[in-house]
């Protein structure tokens, strides 16, 4: 287990050093994703067999969640200053539908995930995305100063 954790940690550190370097179109998505996987795997202290079951479940949930958030964001964008009341009402109703769907999806996700990891790990998972983003920003700022 220590060997596995050390390998993941070393991989994370190696991947993290390359994140501050931009390609022509922004950050290298593959390296960023690899660093995110290593970060979450390490912080949750996932065993290899847990990680094999965890990531497919997490990726399906996360992809659906991102799609829903993108749709909600698009509903909130208004190109015209004035929307008709009917259109505004329709957008709000759709947003509430998406939010309800996201709650149902998250409940299913937690139920499915609870057969792979503990409830304490699930609670810890909630803040890890923000923590990872904060880590990347701090790393970028640190690398800029050097």
Q: Which of 133, 130, 121, 126 is nearest to 53 (CA)?
A: 121
Beta-strand runs (E) in the chain: 22-23, 26-27
> Crossing angle for the helix pair 2-18 and 119-145, nearest 10 degrees?
40
Q: Are 39 and 5 in contact (CB under 8 A)?
A: no
Beta-strand runs (E) in 18-70: 22-23, 26-27
Q: Which of 2, 135, 123, 109 is nearest to 55 (CA)?
A: 109
**Confidence tier at 82 by pLDDT (50, 70, 90):** confident
Q: What are the pLDDT digits (tens) for 26-71?
A: 568 898 889 999 999 999 999 999 999 999 999 999 999 999 999 9
Mean pLDDT across the stretch 108-131?
Answer: 94
Q: What are the pLDDT digits (tens) for 87-103?
A: 989 999 999 999 999 99
Share above pLDDT 70 across residues of the chain, in percent, rounded to a whole number: 81
Mean pLDDT across the stretch 101-128?
Answer: 96
Q: Across 29-43, 74-88, 104-118, which has the greatest mean pLDDT?
A: 104-118
How high is the pLDDT of residue 79? 75
Residue 14 has pLDDT above 50, yes or no: no
3-state secondary structure 4-45: HHHHHHHHHHHHHHHCCCEECCEECHHHHHHHHHHHHHHHHC
Instruction: Enumerate the β-bridge partners of residue 22.
Output: 27
């Amino acid at each position: 287990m220590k060997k596995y954790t050390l390998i993941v940690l070393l991989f994370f550190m190696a991947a993290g050093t390359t994140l501050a370097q931009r390609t022509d179109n922004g950050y290298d998505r593959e390296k960023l994703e690899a660093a995110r996987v290593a970060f979450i795997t390490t912080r949750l202290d996932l065993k290899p067999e847990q990680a094999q079951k965890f990531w497919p479940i997490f990726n399906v949930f996360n992809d659906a969640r991102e799609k829903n958030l993108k749709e909600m964001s698009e509903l909130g964008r208004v190109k015209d200053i004035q929307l008709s009341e009917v259109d505004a009402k329709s957008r709000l109703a759709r947003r509430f539908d998406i939010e309800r769907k996201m709650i149902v999806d998250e409940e299913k996700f937690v139920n499915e995930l609870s057969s792979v990891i503990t409830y304490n790990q699930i609670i810890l998972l909630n803040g890890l995305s923000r923590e990872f983003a904060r880590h990347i920003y701090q790393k970028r700022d640190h690398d800029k100063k050097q």
